[in-house]
Every structure is written in structure tokens, then in C-alpha cells.
Amino acid sequence: MSADMPIVLVNMPMSAVERPSLALGLLQSALTRAGLKSRTVYANISFLEYAGLAHYNLLETSPPEEALVDWLFAGVAFPDFETNHPLFLDRYFRRNPCPNKNEAELRANFLKLRRSSAASSIGHAARYSRHARLSSAAPQHSISMFPRSRCCGA
């Protein structure tokens, strides 16, 4: 790897926003000591700003096995794949009722987030980072951690 090629470390959407990533901070420090250029992009903060705290918290606490966040960004990764959105959301809300929330409003907001250009640009930022100049660089490796608990908690 060339020292001239920038390395972009991305804290993915849906990672904790309460604190910076210790892992990415340590990795960036090690890269700097090794003489390699790097920067960290907090795509989680960008997505939080777009989605709003209430929706971000619902998405962040959604059970991973339900794949709500995967569904949200699937259009970026697989733009030609057609999904039955109503069926997916029916199944999601049947398994994860949100008695303190308006289900119709949640459905509408989840659909809006999925089809929004912001979700798409965040997805692209997560893959290529629009915050760094990467005209000659291509992503080489990816590491991801998505700690989540439960949707619609108290």
C-alpha cells in the first residue's frame, strides 16, 4: 500500500452516536505512526442529522435478526433488486409491535428514509467516503460492527 493513498475509516450509520469510535481512533493512530494518511468519517452522525434522533433510535434498537437497517440501505447495495416493501414492513411490525408509536407514521417514515437520496448518499459515503478525495483510491477492506438491542423500547 502506498503512503500517498489515503485510507478512509468509516463509522457506519447505526453505530452509537454517544461517543466516538475507540476502535477507529486507535486504528487511525496506528496508521499515522506507520506513516500512512488516513481520516475518519462519521457517517453515523450524518445519518442521525438526516433521520432525526427519534427515528435513529428506533432503527438503532431494531432487532438485528429483523434486518430493518439492512432493508433501509439495501437499495444502495442492490439497486436492481425489487423488494416487496409492504410485505416486509407487515412482517416487521407483526413481530415488533410498537404500542407507543403510530405504526402508519413509522411505516411512512421508514419508506421515506429508504428511498431518500440522503440514505443513498450516506450509503455511498459508507462505501467510498464523499468526505475524502479518493479519485485514485478504491476501497480495499471493510470492517463493521452493529451493536443493537430492541425496537420501540420504553
d(CA 60, CA 21): 16
- What is the predicted pLDDT for the residue at 61? 86
For 41, the 3-state DSSP assignment is: strand
Q: How far apart are CA 131 and CA 43, in angstroms?
A: 10
Distance CA 51, CA 10 (A): 18
- Residue 90, pLDDT score: 95
122: confidence class by pLDDT, cuts 50, 70, 90: low
Residue with cell 429508504: 114
- State residue 130's pLDDT score: 43
Check residue 154 and report its DSSP letter.
Answer: -
pTM above 0.75, yes or no: no
115 vs 94 pLDDT, higher one: 94
| All residues at 6 or more sequence positions from 108 whose CB lies less than 8 Å from its CB, including other chains | none
